[in-house]
Structure 1
Amino acid sequence: MTIAGLDEASLHSSLRDPLLGSLGFLNEVMDRYPDAISFAPGAPHPEFLTDLDVQRYIERFLDHLRGEGRTPERARRLLYEYGPGRGLINDIVSDALRHDQEIEADPTAIVITVGAQEGMLLVLRALFRSGEDVLAVANPCFVGITGAARLLDLECVAIGETPAGIDLDALATACREARRAGRRLRACYVAPDFSNPGGSRMTLAARMELLALAEREDFYVVEDNAYAFTAAGDAQLPPLKALDSGGRVIHIGTFAKVCFPGARVGYVVADQRVGDTGRVLADELAAIKTVVTVNTSPLCQAVIAGMLLEHGRSLRELSRRKSELYQRNLHHLIGALDSCLGEVRSSRVSWNHPGGGFFVRMHLPVPADADLLETSASRYGVLWTPMAQFYLGGGGEEQLRLSCSYLDIDQIDAGVLRLAEFLKQEVGV
């Protein structure tokens, strides 16, 4: 029997997009050089995965359910069945957001998602109705949101990034240009705290200005809150959603960094009213979710809820030790770069000094492409991430990203020494 083939041109065009292949290439390089020190993955530190007592957290959540009046049998059945598309732990997440971030979100305005990535897909699908709608993103930008937009055939407009976050003057100009072209800038994606990969952070004034601009220009702000917890205790800034008095912000969060990534649990706060239907945007997202993933794993939700309950329903308490480690690693990485490469730092070679997050961005005088990464891995035993994949429409070819989250201090030191030798021999630094 002859197996029918597929014409490549008949498949969705996103499948040939370099964006979809870039992450696979990076994983393949890491697999081929397991002894290399890797500054590539933006993953949580493995120290926090060694003593996870999943069963204890599940039992803690079951105690919570029984305390609400459910029988032991009914409580356990909730974890074994499909469960509601909106989620099981919305009330606990609502309490945590109120307690830690001053976000007032009714549990019915929250959807528990399969990671933040599903949240992005659901939000874009709900907001964007036609090809006349445009999504604004900071440039460079997290590939999760641009990849989701690509799969949905949505057009993105790249807005430059400043040290204080997305360039608001350029964003206002993009709104006007869209109108002149008979289109509409429907939403703007931002990660206000230590964006991936740029590392920028919006000031309080910039946050207020963005919300005012969204109100004037009638667009929504999709806020990604993944790295805010890494800010030092005395440097916390309110998320956009906590400042949102006009219902302009759709807030997306994840438990991957503060709990553990394997659970794949995130959430969306979407309290915007939908016409005069009595529904809110979260209702629409939950409806879409029922035909995408049906529901988020109840067992995984139970683990996350148990962790929150054990820490007083507080994300901040849950993430305190992790935040301290990531702050330590980030400062150590920057210090090691300054120490080893400070004498050659110039307009040709430079790196930023973010105050939080997982990433440092470095500029080189040569293309930081796949061939250079292969040389770095094979000859010098050090890995990093090319930045070009994070830019829309070209750019970033001479930049690389260094992640500090997955490494120990001695690995950071050894890795920077290898990186310095690599730059000296291969880049002419």
Structure 2
Amino acid sequence: MGLDRAPEESPETERAAADNRAAFDRTGLRPGRSVRPGPPDTTVKILDRPWAAPIALGPAAGRTDRPALLRAADAAGLPVVHPLARHDLAHREPPAAGSAALLLPLGSRDGAGPPRPVPGFLPADWAEVERLCATSALPVLVAGIRTASDAARALEAGAGGLVTDSLAALPELAAAVDGHRPLLLGGGVRTGADVLVSLASGADAVLVRRPVLDALLADGETDGEAGVAEVLATLVRELEQAMAFTGTASVAEARPESLRIGHRPPPARPRPGPDAVYPLRKAELHPSLSDPVLDTMTFLNEVTHRFPDAISFAPGRPYDGFFDTEQIFTYLRGYLDHLRAEGATEQDIRTALYQYGPTAGQIREIVADSLRKDEDIDVPPESIVITVGAQEAMLLVVRALTAGPEDALLVASPCYVGITGVARLLGVPVTAVEEREDGFSCADLEAAILRERARGRRPRALYVIPDHSNPSGTTIDLPTRRALLEAAERHGILLIEDSPYRRVSPGTPLPTLKSLDRSRRVVHLGSFAKTVFPGARVGFAVADQQVVDEEGRTGLLAGELAKIKSMVTVNTSSLSQAVVAGALLAGDGRLSVLNAEPAAYYGDALRTTLRALDARLPEARRTALGVRWNEPTGGFFLTVQVPFRADNAALARSAQEFGVIWTPMNYFYPQGGGHQALRLSTSYLTTADIEEGTERLARFIEAQAPAS
């Protein structure tokens, strides 16, 4: 296939690219060490979209609507920027499908300063820029920005982002833009090290042009997709290597200090006038806010919103059919009757419902009774803290247990993103203990503990979901549970046991770690989100560990958690606690009785999904494809291994072309992994949805899998 003629570059643009190359060649990188374990994270979110790396394909890569180029970019999780040329407006042609933004060059300037048109491009002035920014369905990147005044004019005109062709101008422009819009460098980038130099100099991303054009030119016998894919993969790999060398853990952490020469810091901010408004710099906020783990669910929600007719195996939430609005009032009245029977006055009841209530919770006795009856967990009420969902319980426990930078949290991996999110927000290092195909291994846990101590760290606890875990659906067997308790005691760590799926699963569950705990090594977390209803936002932590202060006085860890909670949420909603207590009282304290019907429903949904998968992809066919899945006996989730990269790009294709949504498993691996697996949630779907959804999923897998 012949190569379409690329847009002409102005002499100024060509000179700027040459200047950039000279500057890149003069600039070295300083070695450094990351404070976080694991490989560097290249992902970013720009123009309200996640990118696999801060790299976009620019217009000098030939026609950016070439199918081969678009396919290669989509597979790499990178965006394509479409140039807005004269013929686009003259013929009112839509932008290329797959474009992330439109590029509007201002053109070169004469001695007087006004823009002169670049051949083939729209001769844009500022009025035209403002009109196009206001009418375009895609963000408009204004190119040709070289001064702070240019940047200010572009922001006033409504530009979605700014592109400069001058590496030297980046610090000044970054200070002028101040994080209000993305700033891209558009010339001279050839290597991953160039990308990192650009980021450290103030860019949010780069436009790659010449390397992609060279790949298309070199691939004379095919359409060029393979060559472009290789160029993009090499750039991302080199960027990872440069980040690892400099100790840059994530793109947001790229700093000028990583550069040896060739950098000048951004000028000081101008003194604000009386009416000046300056945005906050993202770089000055907590670094966890730039961590992709906090954006994973956002992307999933965006996909769900964009494709409302797709069948979604993504949401891990209870089925709405079991919720009866009037039941809330029945539960509430039941709790009020309970208070009266206990001798509470009407004033006591008003206080219990309308006031803040005790920080540790006002239904601890009822929860303790339920735990004794249902879980054989016999603890005093004062060892329980009622929390705003189990998520707050995780935050309280991790904050209490980690006293300094040497303290680390171990997690069974893959793991629930809520616990890794808490650790990132608190700045606590996370060490993954990978599950094997045959389950969790205590030998792997002990090896991880020893490695952490050899590195000068102090492992404080292991977070684990023993029953029907989120995301994998696996359950830890009884011998391993006992071995975990022995290992925790031997190595002096705690076990943080999360238990949201026990009472929404059919059959008799295995004993909890806490019920087997004889040396107070387990902090047990629970939630009523799945068993009563999510909107109540009521969870709890059982923390009966003794805490001794310097004077020898003893208390319970629960009391320390309550102190932290008093500075976070003050208390859990009294009204929500009342409704949950009423539900527990209605079942005589037994969630197993209260949830018998939902548990049977969820079990049927899981079995229906497994049968449907087996029918759509019989054993011989899935063996040929390299597809397999596990078979949980309860909970909401199962894992499907596939022979291709199951990332955001694959998810978008699955939703758009096949009408089925799932969750990439790589979301759940804190130190990388799970790239060829997806999570299915079965809890929220009807039988008809499951049958149709698995049919669509099988067709997607067949289409996505390599030819066999």
Q: TM-score, normalised to structure 2's length? A: 0.59
Q: Give the equivalent residue in structure 2 for 1:104.
A: 378
CA displacement, residues 147-190 of structure 1 (integer Å, 9 cap, x when unaligned): 10010000111101135643211110111122222221110001
Note the 1:25-174 alignment, pairs <5 A: 25-162=299-436, 165-174=439-448
Q: Which amino acid aligns with 1:354?
A: P
CA contact (8 A) 2:390 2:527 kept: yes
Note the 1:304-383 alignment, pairs <5 A: 304-342=580-618, 343-346=620-623, 348-383=626-661
Question: Following the alignment from structure 1 to structure 2, what is the Cα–Cα distance between the partners of residues 177 and 397?
Answer: 25
Deviation at 1:204, TM superposition (A): 0.8
Question: Following the alignment from structure 2 to structure 1, what is the Cα–Cα distance between the partners of residues 367 and 437?
Answer: 31
Question: Following the alignment from structure 2 to structure 1, what is the Cα–Cα distance between the partners of residues 455 and 704?
Answer: 46
1:284 to 553, 560, 563: 560
CA contact (8 A) 2:473 2:639 kept: yes
| Partner secondary structure for residue 386 of structure 2 | strand
Question: Following the alignment from structure 1 to structure 2, what is the Cα–Cα distance between the partners of residues 178 and 425?
Answer: 43
CA contact (8 A) 1:256 1:264 kept: yes
Q: Give the equivalent residue in structure 1 for 2:531.
A: 258
CA contact (8 A) 2:314 2:680 kept: yes
CA displacement, residues 17-62 of structure 1 (integer Å, 9 cap, x when unaligned): 1110110110111111111110000010111124552111111101
Question: Following the alignment from structure 1 to structure 2, what is the Cα–Cα distance between the partners of residues 48 and 259?
Answer: 10
Larger RCO, structures 1/2 (Cα 8 Å, 6+ apart): 1
Structure 2 residues not aligned, in runs of 5+ = 1-274
CA displacement, residues 327-374 of structure 1 (integer Å, 9 cap, x when unaligned): 111111011101111242227211111111111111111111111111
Q: Find out whether 1:421 has 2:699 as its counterpart.
A: yes
Are residues 230 and 56 of structure 1, via their aligned partners in 2, closer, same or farther at CA, if it must alter by over 3 Å? closer
Q: Which amino acid aligns with 1:269?
A: V
Question: Following the alignment from structure 1 to structure 2, what is the Cα–Cα distance between the partners of residues 392 and 77?
Answer: 44
Q: Give the equivalent residue in structure 1 for 2:276.
A: 2
Deviation at 1:428, TM superposition (A): 4.8
Question: Following the alignment from structure 1 to structure 2, what is the Cα–Cα distance between the partners of residues 175 and 388?
Answer: 24
Q: Which amino acid aligns with 1:175?
A: I
Are residues 305 and 410 of structure 1, via their aligned partners in 2, closer, same or farther at CA, if it must alter by over 3 Å? same
CA contact (8 A) 1:162 1:200 kept: no
Q: Which amino acid aligns with 2:632?
A: P
| Partner secondary structure for residue 53 of structure 1 | helix
| Partner secondary structure for residue 300 of structure 1 | helix
Out of 385-394 and 165-174, give the one that drifted further. Answer: 165-174
Deviation at 1:229, TM superposition (A): 1.9
Q: Which amino acid aligns with 1:64?
A: H
Deviation at 1:63, TM superposition (A): 0.7
Out of 65-74 and 292-301, give the one that drifted further. Answer: 65-74
1:246 to 519, 540, 545: 519
Question: Following the alignment from structure 1 to structure 2, what is the Cα–Cα distance between the partners of residues 227 and 277?
Answer: 37
Question: Following the alignment from structure 1 to structure 2, what is the Cα–Cα distance between the partners of residues 189 and 230?
Answer: 21
Q: Give the equivalent residue in structure 2 for 1:385.
A: 663
Question: Following the alignment from structure 1 to structure 2, what is the Cα–Cα distance between the partners of residues 13 and 416?
Answer: 39
- The structure having more radius of gyration, on CA atoms, is 2
CA contact (8 A) 2:644 2:704 kept: no
Question: Following the alignment from structure 2 to structure 1, what is the Cα–Cα distance between the partners of residues 639 and 525?
Answer: 24
| Partner secondary structure for residue 295 of structure 2 | helix
1:268 to 530, 534, 541: 541
CA contact (8 A) 1:164 1:200 kept: no
CA contact (8 A) 1:385 1:401 kept: yes
Question: Following the alignment from structure 2 to structure 1, what is the Cα–Cα distance between the partners of residues 657 and 702?
Answer: 13
CA contact (8 A) 2:643 2:705 kept: yes
Question: Following the alignment from structure 1 to structure 2, what is the Cα–Cα distance between the partners of residues 71 and 17?
Answer: 51
Q: Percent identity over the alignment?
A: 48
Question: Following the alignment from structure 1 to structure 2, what is the Cα–Cα distance between the partners of residues 165 and 145?
Answer: 20
Question: Following the alignment from structure 1 to structure 2, what is the Cα–Cα distance between the partners of residues 369 and 50?
Answer: 37
Q: Give the equivalent residue in structure 2 for 1:400.
A: 678
2:475 to 190, 193, 201: 201
Q: Which amino acid aligns with 1:345?
A: R
Q: Give the equivalent residue in structure 2 for 1:298.
A: 574
CA contact (8 A) 1:334 1:353 kept: yes
Q: TM-score, normalised to structure 1's length? A: 0.97
Q: Which amino acid aligns with 1:116?
A: A
Deviation at 1:2, TM superposition (A): 1.9
Are residues 182 and 371 of structure 1, via their aligned partners in 2, closer, same or farther at CA, if it must alter by over 3 Å? closer
Deviation at 1:76, TM superposition (A): 2.4
CA contact (8 A) 2:504 2:531 kept: no
CA contact (8 A) 2:538 2:577 kept: yes
Q: Which amino acid aligns with 2:371?
A: L
Q: CA RMSD in A?
A: 1.3
CA displacement, residues 176-212 of structure 1 (integer Å, 9 cap, x when unaligned): 1222222211100010111111111111110000000
Question: Following the alignment from structure 2 to structure 1, what is the Cα–Cα distance between the partners of residues 505 and 512?
Answer: 12
Question: Following the alignment from structure 2 to structure 1, what is the Cα–Cα distance between the partners of residues 705 and 448?
Answer: 37
Deviation at 1:375, TM superposition (A): 1.2
Q: Which amino acid aligns with 1:306?
A: G
Question: Following the alignment from structure 1 to structure 2, what is the Cα–Cα distance between the partners of residues 323 and 194?
Answer: 13
CA contact (8 A) 1:164 1:202 kept: no
Question: Following the alignment from structure 2 to structure 1, what is the Cα–Cα distance between the partners of residues 509 and 279?
Answer: 55
Q: Which amino acid aligns with 2:407?
A: D
Question: Following the alignment from structure 1 to structure 2, what is the Cα–Cα distance between the partners of residues 409 and 136?
Answer: 38
CA contact (8 A) 1:163 1:200 kept: no
Q: Which amino acid aligns with 2:698?
A: A
Note the 1:13-32 alignment, pairs <5 A: 13-32=287-306
Count, aligned residues: 428
Question: Following the alignment from structure 2 to structure 1, what is the Cα–Cα distance between the partners of residues 276 and 421?
Answer: 35
